[in-house]
Structure 1
Amino acid sequence: MASYDYDLFVIGAGSGGVRASRVAAAHGAKVAIAEEYRVGGTCVIRGCVPKKLLVYGAHFAEDLHDARRFGWDVPDCRFDWSVLRDNVLAEVDRLNGLYENTLNSNDVEIIRERATVAGPHEVALASGRTVTAGKILIATGAWPVVPDCEGAEHGITSNEVFHLDKLPRRIVIAGAGYIANEFAGIFHEFGSQVTLVNRSDQILRGYDEQIRDRLLQISIAKGIDFRFNAAFQKVEKLADGSLLIHVTGCDPIPADALLYAIGRTPHTRGLGLENVGLELDDRGAIKVDEDGRSGCDSIFAVGDVTDRIQLTPVAIREGQAFADTQFGGKPSRVDYGCVPSAVFSQPPLAGVGLTESQARDKFGNVKIYTSDFRPMKNVLANRNERALYKMVVHPENGKVLGLHMIGPDAPEILQAAAVAVKAGLTKQAFDDTVALHPSMSEELVLLK
């Protein structure tokens, strides 16, 4: 049998790569993982974790305002971006250390340099050293897309937004997906003037139409400006350091910062994949089978680099399944059906299963049940925002095909409800459950 330096070599220490490394090592494999930046990947270092902390910070703007209606004598408050920024980055540092400790405690060797594929069993390190491995796992994630226009270098991406020196008075956000809408809500609550520019005429493509339309209505009412069917032409940097952003269909937009949130593409460029003839799709993603195996039998990939579902929990499950299958003698595959997702906008939305349009395409005349209500807290706070819960039901057997909602704590509520959808429960099972009153979640068993 061939002898290698490692049983497994992982390129990329994000959520999927760390899970695969830790589990494979626990199964007895000799494992090394290479990371050129920091351990933790997009989610921990520059994605969902620090962003959610900013969301928490943004919530205080409305909570402090609403508190007066609940009898609290709240003085006028000043927000200090630098305090929140530095505390968030300190938490990222802490989590980075915990991830490193996890790898070290499982005897995974951390190689702190760039690694590329040199052959079916060979990895080239930036230091000039070449190592061998029985199996190679690519878990390099995805990278923000930057538009191809004059002056594009004057904008930033979600990689840099957490490090801003100061809060921009005016910010333009390019895109209309979950990252764009989340940061639009964050910066608006912090007091910035927010303009969201999108090349199409809709936000949050892929989410249920009624839910995303409700978010658009609420966002506009709050004062977030939307420019639709607008393509970037050029970005000018003026003498005072501000920007003038030229897009089609409207006058140039003055801003102090420009954030690109127009999508993320698989991070495969420069990995040496051509050395083993790996096939990529038209977005640059590595094509893999149900076990994460590429066209080269010894090379696998998990997470965003495969562009299946770009969500951290999916990458973690893929890493777990890979390690259990290849090193644990426990073959397993990830089930991509009924994966819940959320947008931590203001207010947040969440969904699982089929949207109404997807269900109609598949089953025809499906049954739709909704609850459009004003949360109790909003009533006393004299806030007019309404929540919307929606259930999509099979026309014949009553099985719940999808649940979609927007309103306070929607993601927290949906996680539990997603179990019911995944289990194939019917609308009658919801109806038969006694409501937990008074709560927002009780609307799920009262839908009409």
Structure 2
Amino acid sequence: MTSRLFKSIDNAPLIVFRIFFGLLFACETFGAILTGWVRANFIRPEFTFSHIGMDWLQPLPGYGMYFYFGIMGCLSLAVMLGYKYRYSLGLLTLFWAGAYFMQKTSYNNHYYLLLLISFIMLFLPANRYASLDVKQNPGLEKFSMPAWCSWVLVFQVAIVYFFATAAKLYPDWLDGTYTGLLFSEINTLPLIEKLFRNPGFHIFIAYAGIAFDGLIVPLLLWKRTRTLALIASFLFHLFNSIFLKIGIFPYFALSFAVFFYPPETIRGVFFKHKPVVVSEIEGGNLLGRSLFYFFFIPYFIVQLALPIRHWFIKGDVLWTEEGHRLSWRMMLRERSGTINFRVIDKKTKNRIFYPFESHLTHKQLEGVSTKPDMIWQMAQRIKSEFLKKGIQVSIYADCYVSINRKIPLALIDPNVDLASAPWDYFLHNDWILLPKGGK
């Protein structure tokens, strides 16, 4: 196994992936500006709900976030062209991390995946061929790489699909409840709409999703089924792109296919004039071995631990949301709810009217009505506003939430003062109520 990891192979897959990666990242960032996503999530809101612990991370004033995303788009193109690769990708990773942690109202798993792949690519020699860096400095050119450079990306995408499969093994997915809600809302051609509203189709999609996520990586790894799996992957992701409108993710997922084919095949398709590489063990590359053993192995241990942390937290993650993020729990449920904050002056015991809705966008209000971490953050913000006026307050929340349009239940303990309640990053927060029968 060790010899296979450190075998010298053609670097064509990594070079092609760098080009796809940079192009798709540019589409993501420039597209965020053109579609109004930046305006909706960074410019219109009075403030953003950053990840807890990063509340200081707020958008640039005025139209600054347009420039922020514009810079990321330019950096993405520089990565695609292999221009000042380490600097361009390093800055892109830093900027994207800022945007990712700055808001979670429109949280999406592919934003997280982009961040992880950017981080991984920083350590890979993806600019050693077909790049402006090589054109400026021919001494950088190299036609090979250690095989582990491909395997780390294969393993990363395998983690995504494995945990996406595991997350679907719950009743509302298995009986077609959620897929029914998802597809019944899609407006398209009458004949297709009729299909999308058919309960049998909902069951088919539910199990097709489980089968695809669970089998696609093994089928791509096996030579006999590889091309068939690629065709299935193309059809699956194209369907999702057209009907579910999930941005660049379908095409980003397809771009990983270059690592499942023999490097010689990728070279023959994309770089017909690239010199042939003779495979050999890179025994003298101590830096590469150290990087693999002391960085990537610990990195993947963390990647395996994060998605299972909710199994060790009291309550069902589907209800509490504790451990939901960073866990590849993608498109699994519909949450809806209502909330009312009761603000009480600690000194006079009088209730103070606070129109919290007027400070939020519609999308933010949806999050604050259903997600415990955003509810807690809103309470902390209200507390802070009154402290600036010299008023100490207690804050209580009356919140009822429905999962997949079922009967709404109380989510937050109405007798707990959220202004003074701590946030537990690793265990269950007791002020999040559990439905009867919750573990």
TM-score between both structures, scaled by the size of structure 1 = 0.29
Say which structure, 1 or 2, has more relative contact order (CA 8 Å, 6+ apart). Answer: 2
Task: Indicate the structure with greater helix content.
Answer: 2
TM-score between both structures, scaled by the size of structure 2 = 0.29
Task: Indicate the structure with greater strand content.
Answer: 1
